[in-house]
Structure 1
C-alpha cells in the first residue's frame, strides 16, 4: 500500500488536479493571502514571519496551562531522539510577541501593526474545517491600548472577508474585563459550580481550580446543561468601570462605521492571555462550529513572556474554514 499523508493534513494542489476542491486549491490559498496583504498593508500593517516551532515554555506561558491546547493538543518536536523542549506552534500571537520583545521592536513607532500567514498545528479530533495542520492569516497591533485600535482591528477582519466576496458573516462581540474583574468572576464561578462538582466533565473539574471561565467554553453537553440550569451570570454583567467604558467605546466606533455585530455575553475565548475586548467571526455555512476565527486584547501577554508591559490586540482566521464558507456561498475566486 502506498504511503498516505498524515491524518488531519491535506495537500495544496495545482490547477487541473483530478481530486481538486476549493479547500485544497493552492491558488485559492494564495488569493486569500494576497487579499489579506492588500487590506492589512493598506492599513499600515507590515509582514512578519516567525518559526513554525517554538520553545514549549513560550506556549505554556502565553496560551495558558488551563487550555486544551497545552493540556491535549500540542505537537512536541524531537531531534536526535531525546529533546522535547520545542513544539509546533498552535497559534501565531505568542511567537509574534516573543519576536517583538527579542528583536527590540518596541523601539519602532507605536502602534506597530503586524500581519502574517502560515501553518499552525493542533492534535485535534479531525472533522470538517478542523485539521491538525491548518493555515491562518494573523493580524496583531502592539503598543496601543485605546478602544479605537480594538474597533479598527475588528473592522479590518470584516474588511478582509468582505473583499474576498463573503457576505454571510457576523461578528459576535464581548468583553472579558480586566484581570481583577476576571478574578472576581472566577471566584463567583467556583462558588457556583463547586456544589455540583460531580456533574462536571473531567476537563471542567480541572478547569474549576485553574480557570473556571474556561468551563463556559466547554464542548461537553453535560457542562452546557449545567450552565443553563444554574443560569450563570455572564461576564459582561461583571465588568469593572474601566472595562465597561472601554467596551462601550469599541461599540460606539463600530456603530459609527456601520460594522454590524451582535453582543454575545458567552464570548470568553479559549486562550488565557485575553482581556477586555474579545470577538468571533461566524458564518453558518461552515457547519455546527461556525466560527471562522476570532480575536481579542492581550495587554498582559508580553509580561507573561518575561518582557515589559506592552498593550496588544489581534485576530486570526483559518484559511480552510474561510474557503468552506466561500464555497457555501458559491463565491467564485479568480
Structure 2
C-alpha cells in the first residue's frame, strides 16, 4: 500500500495528531485572516512554484535553503528550472513588482497562507511540507511598520488563546554593519575552526553570523568560551536609531518584548529589525514564527528598491502550542437535520428535499437505505439535532417522520413545514 512521503502529512478532521486536524488548521487560518483583514491587509495567493532564480536570489546563496540544497527543484518541458516555494516573501515581492503595485497607495500590505516545501530531515515540528500564514508590508521604510507587524503577529496568537509567549527582538543591522560583524567573527573563530561542527566550519567563510544560530552543543560551547560580542554592538548610527524607535513604538503599543542581542535570521535578505515569537511550553522547537525587515530584496529580484517588512507564522507549530495550553478549538457545526431514506425510492426524495433546505439549513442525508435503528445510529454519530425518516409509509401520506434526538419526541410533518420549523 502506497503511503505519504515522509515529512508530508494528510490533514483531515479525525487525524490522530493534533497538528494535522483540519478544523484546527482552519481555525488558525480564519483567525489570522480576521486579524489581518481588520488591520487593512489584503489577501494574495502566489503560485506554489516559481522560477528557481526567484528563490536563489531571494533567500541568498549563503542561506541554508541553498547551501544545504533544501529546495525541491524541477525542470519543465522548456528546460526551465522551477522550485517549490521554500518561503513566501520572495514570491510576494516578485508579484508586487510584476503587477505594478508601486503605484498603489503605499505601504501595500498583503497576506497569504499555504504550503511551504523544504527538503530537510523530518522531525516533530519540522516537515518537508509545512504551512505558514505570511504577512508583508511593502513600500515604506518606517519603524512604525515593524512595530505594527510585531503587534499584529502577537494579536493573532492572543486571539487564538495563546498566553505563554515571549517576543524576542533584535537587529541584524545594515549590510555594511553585517560585513563588519562577519569580519570580526571570522577573526575570532578562525583559530578555533577545528573545534566547530562541520556545518559551522562551512559557514565560517560564507556567512559566519549563522554560526550563532547553531544547534550544535560544541559550537555553542566555543561561542560561550570566546565571549562573542553580539551583533547589536556593531550597529551603525542609522540602524541603531531605527532599532531604538521600534522599541519605543512597541512600548507605546503595550507589546512586551525581550531584546535578544544574539538573534539572527536564516535568510540573507534581512536588514535591521529581526524578531521571533516563542512559546515556552513546546520544547526545543519553541519558535512559533518570526519576521524582519528586508529593504534590499526587491533589488535582488531585479526590481526597484522597495522597502519591506513581514512575518511568517508556522501553522503546525501553533497547533502544537494550542494543544499544550489546552485551548479548545471551536468544533465544526453538527447537522441540524439528517434525512434517512428507508427504501430505494426515498434516496432521491431525501436529496431533493435537502437541496430545498440547504441554503438556510445544514442538512445531511443517508446515501443508502437503512433500517430506522441503523439510520438513527448514523444520525447520532454525526451529532444531528433531528433525524427525518423517509420510507414507503411516509411517501403514501406525504409526510416525514421527524425525531428530535435529544428529547426523543417524534412526530409527522409535511415537507413544506420544515423551513418554518428550523427558522424558529
Shift of 1:136: 0.2
CA distance in 2, matches of 1:275, 1:23: 32
Q: Which residue of 1 aligns with 2:300?
A: 304
Q: 1:6 and 2:5 equivalent? A: yes
CA contact under 8 A between 1:151 and 1:253: conserved in structure 2?
yes
CA contact under 8 A between 1:200 and 1:222: conserved in structure 2?
yes
Residues 133-172 of structure 1: matches in 2 within 5 Å? 133-172=129-168
Q: Which residue of 1 aligns with 2:71?
A: 74
Shift of 1:6: 0.7
Residues 288-299 of structure 1: matches in 2 within 5 Å? 288-299=284-295
CA distance in 2, matches of 1:204, 1:54: 30
> Which has the larger displacement, 20-29 or 144-153?
20-29
1:263 corresponds to which of 259, 263, 266: 259
CA distance in 2, matches of 1:283, 1:88: 29
CA distance in 1, matches of 2:22, 2:285: 24
Q: 1:183 and 2:179 equivalent? A: yes
CA contact under 8 A between 2:294 and 2:308: conserved in structure 1?
yes
CA distance in 1, matches of 2:221, 2:53: 35
2:279 corresponds to which of 274, 283, 296: 283
CA distance in 2, matches of 1:71, 1:208: 13
Shift of 1:326: 0.3
CA distance in 2, matches of 1:133, 1:54: 16
Shift of 1:100: 0.7
Q: 1:63 and 2:63 equivalent? A: no
Q: Which runs of 5+ in 2 are unaligned?
A: 331-424
Residues 4-153 of structure 1: matches in 2 within 5 Å? 4-14=3-13, 17=14, 19-72=15-68, 73-79=70-76, 83=79, 85-153=81-149
CA distance in 1, matches of 2:213, 2:183: 17
CA distance in 1, matches of 2:320, 2:311: 19
CA distance in 1, matches of 2:67, 2:240: 32
Q: 1:254 and 2:250 equivalent? A: yes
**Per-residue displacement from partner, 1:211-250 (whole Å, max 9, x unpaired)?**
1111111222222111111110000111111111111111
Shift of 1:83: 4.4
**Per-residue displacement from partner, 1:17-46 (whole Å, max 9, x unpaired)?**
3x4343111121111111111100111100
CA distance in 1, matches of 2:129, 2:79: 22
Q: Which runs of 5+ in 1 are unaligned?
A: none
CA distance in 2, matches of 1:285, 1:114: 31
CA contact under 8 A between 2:166 and 2:280: conserved in structure 1?
no
CA RMSD of aligned residues (A): 1.3
CA distance in 2, matches of 1:226, 1:85: 40
CA distance in 1, matches of 2:27, 2:234: 42
> Which has the larger displacement, 222-231 or 140-149?
222-231
Shift of 1:205: 2.0
The residue matched to 1:134 in structure 2 has which SS? Answer: strand
CA distance in 2, matches of 1:138, 1:197: 37
TM-score, normalized by length of structure 1? Answer: 0.96
CA distance in 1, matches of 2:83, 2:72: 5
**Per-residue displacement from partner, 1:298-331 (whole Å, max 9, x unpaired)?**
0010011111110000000110000000000000
Equivalent residues, number: 329
> Which has the larger displacement, 252-261 or 20-29?
20-29
Shift of 1:78: 3.6
Q: Which residue of 1 aligns with 2:337?
A: none
Which runs of at least 4 in structure 1 moved beyond 6 Å after TM superposition? none
